[in-house]
Amino acid sequence: MSVDARDTARPAPAEGDAPTWPAAFAERYRATGYWSGETFGEMLRTRAALHPDRIAVVDPAGTGRRWTYAELDARADRLAAGLRADGVRRGDRVVVQLPNVAEFFETVFALFRIGALPVFALPAHRDTEISYFCTFTEAVAYVVADVHEGYDYRELATRVRAQAPTLRHVYVVGDPGEHTALAGVPVPMDTAPHMSGNGPAQDPAPAEAGPAPHDLAFLQLSGGSTGVPKLIPRTHDDYLYSVRASAEICAVDEHGVYLVVLPAAHNFPLSSPGSLGTLAVGGRVVLCPSPDPDTAFPLIEREGVTLTGVVPPLALVWTEAARATTYDLGSLKSLLVGGAKLSETAARRVRPALGCTLQQVFGMAEGLVNYTRLDDDEETVVTTQGRPISPDDEIRIVDDEDRDVEPGTTGHLLTRGPYTIRGYWRAPEHNRRSFTEDGFYRTGDLVRVTGTGHLVVEGRAKDQINRGGEKIAAEEVENVILGHPAVHDVSVVPVPDDFLGERTCAYVILRAGAALRAPALRRFVRERGLAAFKVPDLVEFVDAFPHTGVGKVSKKDLRVTAATSHHETT
């Protein structure tokens, strides 16, 4: 079926939510075959038809569940029918905040089939972030777990519901409390018959046709550098290309077993090559309820895990734990490490400790992902952050005036390509700053390119803290702290940290006569309902900030101060 034929059969989603690729680029990406004209819903359908009985998802929690491709496919259809009956429509937004449980895949594939857009929240997000996602995206539904790691998401949902007028449904995995159980979403009678068999379900009725491949599939989150997180609109075509190409680069095939160690909704474990890359080639996805070696190592042995992705601090913990472990990690072929810079020292430890290949991955939810390749020499693997997925990923390294720097020199990384967005969702003003006029994304990373085309991350120009792979926009935390009555001004900067790479330090100027101690300020941030990883690790009270020549607060100088001064533990 041609893309055009589909277009006339259904209404297009709201125009203008996000800039897209100019027609000439889109044509080229289709002609080269990067954009294959398939949706995620169709991808799963195809896999389920090819090998219905192969295991797709393993959720070891509780008594353990193993869903075959046919089962995942049928579950996605059944839930899609139920959600449709509840009024969830193509183009609607649904905030999904689930831990690493099998229902994550049931939910997102159901939404993919409807053409409703999951908004991928992280389990760590709290009132501030979730209320923002729900109101800004005008979400119609919110999907949560009941209780996870001692936190009751149903109570969060109750509070968020009171704030977000568009939110009609809260679906809960587990005990729903006052909300609706995801497992109890009723299946309308007329769709039930084809859901009951083991085989793939029939095509849905034309009136409820799903999305086109060039439609948005979901909204991913950006770590960002602004007061509120930015939403990243990814299409079926572009994302499916990036996950398939990633699977190829990481040599994942139907025998691949991927362990989801990081939160399942994060772009790295979702797509690099992640769960979706693994499902796209018929492999097996194993959910890891917690990233510690005591949980992960037994699963690696039992399930014969062949690859997984972790952030640098976790890579350190794992290499340390591997020395003493009694579990057999022999099935592990490669460990992907990314999200933050991996030191060369840490990189050198991976192979000896874990007996597997290291693949560094430097990626971003906005698109561009770089991998060291399996046939790269050891020096390249331990000293670079890889090279782009696609021959059509365009890379520019520029100075502050957007002029190309000399080859091999460090500068700002700009990129454009077949799976890098052309703009954030509903953010026209921000887009003018974050993208060049000819559509390059300003990554905010300072990078140099080696003679072999590998990228080395040398620093960051964006106002962000990278806390072991968890990104914190300084402005978001500053805005919350400014809400404290005793605070006159605040500046949040990174402090180097041996384990996390960076931690956050809030420099605070108090109002004249005001008294405030660090613990009280940290409690204030937490109580405002910000994710715990955004609560400043350190708080320093000062009388003034260093200023730049034009009178702006000099974060550069503050960073140096933060790096060189002795901090009291707060």
Binding mask 162-181 for ligand AMP (x = CB under 6 A): --------------------
Minimum Å distance from CB 357 to ligand DBH?
Answer: 17
Q: Which does 445 bind (CB under 5 to 8 A by kind): ligand AMP, ligand DBH, none?
A: ligand AMP
Q: Which does 271 bind (CB under 5 to 8 A by kind): ligand DBH, ligand AMP, none?
A: ligand DBH
Q: Which does 460 bind (CB under 5 to 8 A by kind): ligand AMP, ligand DBH, none?
A: ligand AMP
Minimum Å distance from CB 365 to ligand DBH?
Answer: 5
Residue nearest to ligand AMP (CB): 223
Please, are residues 185 and 83 in contact by the beta-carbon 8 Å criterion?
yes
The values of phi and psi at residue 493, to 5°, are -135, 160
CA distance 171 to 184: 9
In the complex with ligand AMP, the residue whose CB is nearer, 191 or 443, is: 443
CA distance 414 to 439: 9
Based on the shown chain and the rule CB under 6 A, indicate whether residue 384 belongs to the binding site for ligand DBH: no
Helix H or strand E segment including 479: helix 474-482
Minimum Å distance from CB 459 to ligand AMP?
Answer: 9
Beta strands in 480-548 (DSSP E): 487-497, 501-510, 538-541
Binding mask 336-365 for ligand DBH (x = CB under 6 A): --xx---------------------x-xxx
- How does DSSP assign 192-230, residue by residue? SHHHHSSSPPPPPPGGG----TTSEEEEEEP--SSSS--
Please, are residues 70 and 199 in contact by the beta-carbon 8 Å criterion?
yes
Helix axes 153-163, 127-136, angle to 10 degrees: 50
Query: Which position among 82, 123, 204, 223 is part of the footprint of ligand AMP (CB under 6 A)?
Result: 223
Closest to 80 measured CA to CA, from 232, 202, 228, 177: 202
Binding mask 181-220 for ligand AMP (x = CB under 6 A): ----------------------------------------
Minimum Å distance from CB 500 to ligand AMP?
Answer: 13
In the complex with ligand DBH, the residue whose CB is nearer, 73 or 393, is: 393
Integer-rounded Cα Rg, in Å, for the chain is 23
Stretch that binds ligand AMP, among 62-70, 238-246, 362-370, 432-440 (CB under 6 A): 362-370
Query: Which position among 267, 319, 390, 504 is part of the footprint of ligand DBH (CB under 6 A)?
Result: 267
Residue showing tokens 């939110």? 167
Beta strands in 255-356 (DSSP E): 257-260, 284-287, 307-310, 334-338
CA 270: distance to chain centroid? Answer: 7
Residues in contact with ligand DBH by the rule CB under 6 A: 267-268, 271-272, 338-339, 361, 363-365, 369
